Structure 1
Amino acid sequence: MEKQAKNLKDISPDLGIYIIEYAFGDVYSRDGLDLKSKEIAVVSALTAMGNAQPQLKVHINGALNTGSSINEVKEVILQMSVYSGFPSSINAMNALKEVLLEREKHGINDEIGKTASKAKPTNRLKLGEQELSNLDSLQVERLKAAYNTFSPELVKFTLEYGYADIFSRDSLSKKYRQIATISALTALGTAQPQLKFHINAGLNIGLTETEIKEIMLLMTIYSGFPSAINGTHALKEVLAERMKNQNN
């Protein structure tokens, strides 16, 4: 980012100053979310948006520099195939490949990390239901009630690919998977119901209100204030619903 700020000196020095002062002075310096989590959030958001390849490479470097293994970064990118499609994941995986080659040339040997278990489930649909139920015990029934009659294939593919094939992979923690999903859906700004579900799921598996607020503040840098405001509003609604359910 500092290099990019310098490159702006002859065309827009103010933008370069704001990048350093706001992005890193105001936001990255906050301690509500650790740096590894922040970089996972940014890699997932930039992958999902798919329109900032140079910046994605900067933050892939950042993720590797702040404790993510190569396989963890791969998992974040792979997971985005569920939320922003295969083209965005292919482009981001190629960016990761380029970053790793550049780092190797500079003598940096990154940790490969845990490899996902290769065991093939005998019943992908059942496994997908289990994985989704781990996030919210009622969501499978909600999904079936909404779409089983109209588009049963959508239900099947959501459960089998999204949850059995992707979310069940054990080379990225459930915490980081929810951070990646919340940040990507916030950045995309087109899937408010799904964002609310994953905010709720994140709280269910141990993310704190503060950590999710920090994700939203981080997104002001990468997808803008409107997306961060909408994401914060979604968090506010989820917290109110959870409080109402606790009191009933």
Structure 2
Amino acid sequence: MTNRTPDKYLETGVLATVLALTLGLATAPGHAAQDTAAPQAMTSTPPASDTLSAKQQAIPLIAAFMATSDMPKLTAVLNQGLDAGLTVSEAKEILMQLYAYVGFPKSLNALGELMKVVEARKQRGVQDAPGREPSRAIPTGEALLAAGTANQTKISGAPVKGPVFDFAPVINQYLQAHLFGDIFERDNLDWQSRELATLGALAATPGVEAQLRSHMRASMRVGLSAAQLRQLTQILAERGDEQAAKRAGAALTQALAAASGR
């Protein structure tokens, strides 16, 4: 039996669509100035590197194939990620988070595929590291809203405001309390991994280029480097979808131009 050392480590189409608008349509006083600043360090993520680890390289592919419901390719990259040290808990967390961006049905189908992959690996004698559950209790009520708002502000670079949220204020409360609260407060998956997954899913989804650009900037705020994001586009080109890679590359170019003030 092969043993591996454990590594460290949303239900309507409307909600999924609006969740993806969080950063793409949101504006705030001083937001442009925030984009020209150096990426903010996150206590929940490691420092920036020039390359993605083998485990990190699998994450955007997992997300992209989940978004396109390509189950054979999803199965292959789930195996790749687990072989590279992705824990079962981390893989589940990636697939659960992405319901916010691609919908519950795809999330549920992908979780079912992961379950089959893990069982098949067990039958082959591969014992995957289970990983861990969140190390702290998720707050509730006003404390949850406060935590989610703080997380949203860090990732967005400024308090999130804009016409969509003036038109439907409750959607931002859902975002703050649920996506950035309930989900981002779960520390069994770091923020860099969460952004890599979001980038993969958005790159594979036509028509959400504005949100993809925003998440490129968010990825740098949580500590991913420009070199790592270029590598992500290369991985999508080589093993994903050419159009997804082109969308990711264009988003990165525009995000870097915004960050440099051009």
TM-score greater than 0.5 by the shorter chain: yes
Partner Cα distance (1:230, 1:59) in 2: 21
Partner Cα distance (2:184, 2:210) in 1: 19
1:225 Cα shift? 2.0
Higher helix share: 1
Aligned residue in 2 for 1:94? 112
Runs (4+) of structure 1 exceeding 3 A deviation are none
Q: Is the 2:152–2:160 contact (alpha carbons within 8 Å) kept by the matching residues of 1?
A: no
Partner Cα distance (1:92, 1:72) in 2: 14
Partner Cα distance (1:32, 1:141) in 2: 30
Partner Cα distance (2:245, 2:118) in 1: 31
Q: Is the 1:44–1:181 contact (alpha carbons within 8 Å) kept by the matching residues of 2?
A: yes
TM-score of the aligned structures, taking structure 1 as reference length: 0.79
Distance 1:53 1:240, change over 3 A: same
- Equivalent position to 1:188, from 205, 211, 227: 205
> Amino acid of the residue matched to residue 36 of structure 1?
K
1:72 aligns with 2:90: yes
- Equivalent position to 1:38, from 57, 77, 84: 57
Aligned residue in 2 for 1:126? 146
- Equivalent position to 1:112, from 117, 130, 134: 130
Partner Cα distance (1:33, 1:137) in 2: 23
Q: Please list the CA deviations of residues 74-126 of structure 1 after superposition, one character each: whole Å capped at 9, or x if unmatched.
A: 11101111110111110010001101111111111110112124613132322
Mean Cα displacement is larger for which, 227-236 or 170-179? Answer: 227-236
Q: CA RMSD of the aligned region, Å? A: 1.8
- Equivalent position to 1:57, from 75, 80, 87: 75
1:62 Cα shift? 0.9
Partner Cα distance (2:153, 2:124) in 1: 44
> Amino acid of the residue matched to residue 182 of structure 2?
D
Q: Percent identity?
A: 28
Q: Is the 1:116–1:170 contact (alpha carbons within 8 Å) kept by the matching residues of 2?
A: yes
**What is the DSSP-based 3-state SS (H/G/I as helix, E as strand, rest coil) of the residue aligned with 1:114?**
coil
Q: Is the 1:72–1:171 contact (alpha carbons within 8 Å) kept by the matching residues of 2?
A: yes
Aligned residues: 211
1:68 Cα shift? 0.5
Partner Cα distance (1:49, 1:40) in 2: 15
Aligned residue in 1 for 2:32? none
Aligned residue in 2 for 1:228? 245
> Amino acid of the residue matched to residue 137 of structure 1?
G
Bigger Rg over Cα = 1
- Equivalent position to 2:173, from 150, 156, 165: 156
